[in-house]
């Protein structure tokens, strides 16, 4: 494809903070942005040239969206397949491709893909009944985690199984088809963010180290405390995955790192990722700009990191500390414009650049 010229319109499915930061990156390159969201007054729509508020299954609204934009991307992976099919039928170019989204939407399909690509995962079994669960626990052992196959995020839709007693009735409590994953006694968690675009070019951000709290990312630091061999292996897994899906855009894989440096893939996100927010100030080019460049068919900017980094998520009431955060002259504060600081809600983040490279 020819690169999209500035002045073209980028369509983004979803109105959350990832869409907001994508919209800002697109504007800086001279693109207009049109957001499609089911949420009136979304964080992303407040920095976009145009917003269409509609249901993700509203064919007429989607067709209107498709007509207004030169390419469609998404800020969340749980886009209904019907939404993407409708957009493509209406003539929209969609990036990334629907099959990458489909695989990432289902934890079992995702881990099956990793396995087929030779990327290590925790032991896992699909669970469609209590009998399946009992059999899987007999094979995998405890502790283990029972998760819904679909629609879980930030620790939701998960049941920890520490003993056979925990397993009793657990499938009914889960309330949906699931996957049992063996517990992985990792030493640390990392993620690698890659981007693939025009002419199959790729670029990678340096692996970052992540800490979670209550299933939600709380802190990302760079450099990660991993050796070059582990870093290379993680980047290679992202490369292979982007190749496997003929992927266009940013793709993230989260890994567990074992005490011997071995990697175990936890999950993939076919989108820009919370663990990449540091790239706004901490890399020459941000993940958001690289994603826009990829879907616009532009060459990539440099993904090089420029400083030692600490990124802290502001969850729920954390955002009420903005006066203290604003008073730290080196803390780069980002607030997403969400009206209501509900518990567990990602309200903003802070990036600190500790020493320049």
Binding site for a second copy (CB under 8 A): 3, 5-7, 20, 23-24, 27-33, 45-49, 284-285, 293, 298-302, 306-307, 319, 322-323, 326-327, 329-337, 339, 348, 353, 356-357
Q: Cis link prior to 113 (omega < 30° from 0)?
A: no
Q: Exposed (0-12), middle (13-18) or buried (19+): which is 186, by Cβ within 10 Å?
A: middle
Cβ closer to a second copy: 102 or 306? 306
Cα–chain center distance at 290? 14
We find the least distance from the C-beta atom of residue 6 to a second copy, in angstroms, to be 5
Q: Measure the CA–CA gap between 255 and 186, rounded to whole angstroms.
A: 9
Q: What are phi and psi of 223, to 5 degrees?
A: -70, 150
We find the least distance from the C-beta atom of residue 145 to a second copy, in angstroms, to be 35
Q: Measure the CA–CA gap between 275 and 296, rounded to whole angstroms.
A: 23
CB 188, CB 257: distance < 8 Å: yes
Cβ closer to a second copy: 183 or 322? 322
Q: Measure the CA–CA gap between 270 and 78, rounded to whole angstroms.
A: 10
Tokens 């819904």 belong to which residue? Answer: 148
Q: Quick one: which of 34, 24, 18 has its CA closest to 70?
A: 34
Cβ closer to a second copy: 138 or 357? 357
Cβ closer to a second copy: 45 or 105? 45
Cβ closer to a second copy: 30 or 214? 30
We find the least distance from the C-beta atom of residue 302 to a second copy, in angstroms, to be 4
Cβ closer to a second copy: 316 or 337? 337
Q: Quick one: which of 101, 143, 141 has its CA closest to 251?
A: 101
We find the least distance from the C-beta atom of residue 295 to a second copy, in angstroms, to be 14
CB 244, CB 117: distance < 8 Å: yes
We find the least distance from the C-beta atom of residue 27 to a second copy, in angstroms, to be 5
We find the least distance from the C-beta atom of residue 345 to a second copy, in angstroms, to be 13
């Amino acid at each position: 494809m020819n690169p999209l010229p500035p002045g073209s319109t980028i369509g983004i499915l979803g109105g959350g903070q990832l869409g907001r930061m994508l919209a800002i990156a697109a504007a800086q390159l001279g693109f207009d942005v049109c957001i499609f969201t089911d949420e009136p007054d979304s964080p992303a729509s407040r920095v976009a040239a145009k917003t269409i508020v509609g249901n993700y299954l509203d064919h007429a609204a989607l067709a209107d969206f498709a007509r207004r934009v030169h390419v469609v991307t998404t800020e969340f992976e749980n886009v209904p397949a019907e939404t993407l099919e409708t957009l493509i039928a209406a003539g929209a170019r969609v990036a990334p491709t629907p099959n990458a989204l489909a695989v990432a939407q289902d934890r079992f399909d995702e881990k099956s893909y990793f396995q087929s690509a030779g990327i290590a995962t925790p032991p896992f079994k699909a669970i469609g009944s209590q009998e399946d669960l009992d059999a899987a626990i007999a094979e995998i052992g405890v502790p283990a985690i029972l998760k819904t196959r679909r629609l879980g995020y930030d620790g939701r839709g998960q049941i920890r199984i520490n003993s056979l007693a925990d397993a009793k009735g657990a499938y009914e409590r889960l309330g949906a088809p699931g996957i049992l994953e063996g517990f992985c006694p990792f030493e640390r968690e990392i993620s690698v963010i890659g981007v693939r675009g025009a002419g199959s070019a790729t670029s990678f951000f340096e692996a970052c180290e992540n800490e979670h709290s209550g299933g939600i990312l709380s802190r990302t630091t760079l450099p990660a405390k991993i050796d070059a061999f582990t870093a290379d292996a993680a980047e290679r897994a992202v490369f292979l995955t982007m190749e496997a899906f003929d992927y266009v855009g940013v793709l993230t894989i989260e890994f567990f790192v074992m005490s011997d440096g071995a990697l175990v893939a936890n999950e993939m996100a076919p989108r820009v990722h919370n663990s990449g927010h540091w790239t706004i100030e901490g890399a020459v080019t941000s993940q958001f700009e690289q994603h826009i460049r990829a879907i616009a068919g532009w060459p990539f900017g440099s993904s090089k990191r420029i400083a030692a980094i600490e990124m802290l998520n502001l969850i729920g009431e954390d955002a009420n500390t903005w006066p203290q955060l604003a008073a730290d002259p080196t803390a780069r504060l980002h607030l997403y414009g969400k009206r209501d600081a509900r518990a567990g809600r990602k309200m903003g983040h802070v990036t600190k650049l500790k020493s320049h490279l």
